[in-house]
């Protein structure tokens, strides 16, 4: 797992030329393993040290073959995103490459994404809310952008995971 400070996290990822190549298969298999081990909900290829336009979205932390459905983990290759609204929402986000901290990130969370799936099929789908936020976060990784770059005020919008947990507990009391 590549962490904050690694130069690859600031580079623009290259398109995948061959969805069915051994390199692509190995990359996806490795990413699925890392995401499962880390109990994450999203992971981009640059986070495992590979400068390719691939990410995985798994909002329920479920990864089951064939990795082509949002409910069981979706592999996204060579994506483009279109924003369907100008409305911005703020939610807390974390990142496997920036362990231990969270930020309250502004995002447009109504998107249409076009991508190639693991079977080489071109897909176009619309997502909103939390799931769209994951897509946007991972898409940022493909463009060398981290959630920290999107924070408007580090003094009030950046906390440790430990402090975040106490905030969540307070919300439920």
Check: CB of residue 115 under 8 Å from CB of residue 75: no
SS3 state at 93: strand
**Residue 138 catalytic?**
yes
Structure tokens at 142: 């493909």
Owner of token pair 């996290």: 9
Please count the CA atoms within 13 angstroms of the CA of 157 that sit on its side-chain side.
Answer: 16
The catalytically annotated residue of 60, 93, 121, 138 is: 138
Q: What amino acid positions are annotated as catalytic residues?
A: 138
């Amino acid at each position: 797992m590549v962490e904050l400070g690694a130069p690859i996290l600031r580079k623009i990822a290259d398109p995948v030329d061959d969805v069915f190549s051994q390199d692509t298969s190995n990359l996806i298999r490795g990413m699925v393993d890392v995401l499962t081990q880390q109990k994450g909900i999203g992971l981009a290829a640059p986070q495992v040290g590979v400068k390719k336009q691939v990410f995985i979205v798994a909002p329920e932390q479920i990864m089951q073959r064939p990795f082509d459905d949002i409910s069981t983990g979706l592999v996204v290759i060579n994506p483009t995103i279109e924003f369907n609204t100008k409305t911005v929402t703020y939610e807390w986000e974390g990142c496997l490459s920036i362990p231990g901290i969270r930020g309250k990130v502004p995002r447009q969370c109504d998107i249409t994404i076009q991508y190639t799936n693991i079977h080489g099929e071109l897909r176009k789908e619309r997502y909103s809310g939390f799931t769209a936020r994951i897509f946007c976060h991972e898409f940022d990784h493909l463009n060398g952008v981290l959630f920290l770059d999107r924070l408007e005020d580090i003094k009030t919008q950046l906390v440790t995971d430990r402090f975040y947990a106490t905030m969540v507990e307070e919300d439920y009391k």
